[in-house]
């Protein structure tokens, strides 16, 4: 029998922490091992408790989610990070994704989507939505252009670009896999690799700020039910 995913929650609001804990602890494959009220406490607790996954509010005090994610990726590179946000703040979310977070959700997401996303992230996979896919695609296109000219480096192949383009159109995993004649597991694996490449490329040279992108659809994930 598999051990439950060990989860650490970081949010400055007690009602949010308690609500998330109740939802997660009601599941047999999840166990909340700690709750932190700010970024600094979250980092120290993560070092001590070694969780499989952290649920982090995008606007943590003392140490924001981007800084926290960067430190966690250095100290605990295997931990999965799920961001929660009240508003779709494109740049802070994208900076945290570049730093190593695997997914984000709006706080008004229903519990089924939350649990699905937790299981996906805790399993080492990535979760994607159309707005994020579009940002990643445009960032890589710009970055690859710059790096090919300066260093002859290409980070994404054509298949990865095709996957991102289809997710940016709002298609789900099943439809993307059918369009590209791939297994759904292959598509999910490729998205995880794409986010890993984004994190690695962000340590090689700064990625230029992206303009605000319009929302394509409200929500979509790499793993479909």
Structure tokens at 32: 């909340």
CA–CA separation, 225 and 218 (whole Å): 17
pLDDT at 144: 60
Please, how many CA atoms are within 13 Å of residue 164, restricted to the half-sphere of its CB? 22
- For residues 179-206, give the mean pLDDT: 75
39-53, 66-80, 205-219: segment of lowest average pLDDT? 205-219
Q: How confident is the model at residue 203 (pLDDT cuts 50, 70, 90)?
A: very low
Domain interval for residue 29: 5-122
Q: What is the CATH number of the domain that holds 191?
A: 1.10.10
pLDDT tens track for 91-145: 788 888 888 898 889 888 899 999 999 999 998 888 877 777 777 777 777 766 5
142-151: b (≥16 Cβ within 10 Å) or e: ebbeebeeee
Please check the confidence at residue 209 and state whether its pLDDT lies above 70.
no
pLDDT at 206: 34
Same domain, 105 and 183: no
Please check the confidence at residue 75 and state whether its pLDDT lies above 90.
yes
Q: Tell me which residue has tokens 């992230």.
A: 121
At residue 85, what are phi and psi to the nearest 5 degrees?
-140, 145
- For residues 29-57, give the mean pLDDT: 97
CA–CA separation, 136 and 192 (whole Å): 12
Does pTM surpass 0.75?
no
Please check the confidence at residue 45 and state whether its pLDDT lies above 70.
yes
Same domain, 10 and 75: yes
Q: What is the mean pLDDT of the chain?
A: 81
Considering 122, 152, 173, which residue would you say is the last residue of a domain?
122
Q: How confident is the model at residue 154 (pLDDT cuts 50, 70, 90)?
A: low
Q: Tell me which residue has tokens 């707005």.
A: 131
Q: How confident is the model at residue 146 (pLDDT cuts 50, 70, 90)?
A: low
For a pLDDT cut of 70, what percent of the chain falls above it? 80
pLDDT at 207: 31
Same domain, 150 and 191: yes
Question: DSSP secondary structure string, 177-205?
Answer: HHHHT--HHHHHHHHHHHHHHHHHHHHHS
pLDDT at 157: 82
Domains identified in the chain, total number: 2
* 34, 8 contact by CB (below 8 A): yes
Residues 6+ apart with CB under 8 A from 27: 4, 115
* 121, 195 contact by CB (below 8 A): no
Same domain, 107 and 197: no
Residue 18 lies in a domain: yes
Q: What is the CATH number of the domain that holds 69?
A: 3.40.50.2300
How many Å is the Cα radius of gyration of the chain? Answer: 17
């Amino acid at each position: 029998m598999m051990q439950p995913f060990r989860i650490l929650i970081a949010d400055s609001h007690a009602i949010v922490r308690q609500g998330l804990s109740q939802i997660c602890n009601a599941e047999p494959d999840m166990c909340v091992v700690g709750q932190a009220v700010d970024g600094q406490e979250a980092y120290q607790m993560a070092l001590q408790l070694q969780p499989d996954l952290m649920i982090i509010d995008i606007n943590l005090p003392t140490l924001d989610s981007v800084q926290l994610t960067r430190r966690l990726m250095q100290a605990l590179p295997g931990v999965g990070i799920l961001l929660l946000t009240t508003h779709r703040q494109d740049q802070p979310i994208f900076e945290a994704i570049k730093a190593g977070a695997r997914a984000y959700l709006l706080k008004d997401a229903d519990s089924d989507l939350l649990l699905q996303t937790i299981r996906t992230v805790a399993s080492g996979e990535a979760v994607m939505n159309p707005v994020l896919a579009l940002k990643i695609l445009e960032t890589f296109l710009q970055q690859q252009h710059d790096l090919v000219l300066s260093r002859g480096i290409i980070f994404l192949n054509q298949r990865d670009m095709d996957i991102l383009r289809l997710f940016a159109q709002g298609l789900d995993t099943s439809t993307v896999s059918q369009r590209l004649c791939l297994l759904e597991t292959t598509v999910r694996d490729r998205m995880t690799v794409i986010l890993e490449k984004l994190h690695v490329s962000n340590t090689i040279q700064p990625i230029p700020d992206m303009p605000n992108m319009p929302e394509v659809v409200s929500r979509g994930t790499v793993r479909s039910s």
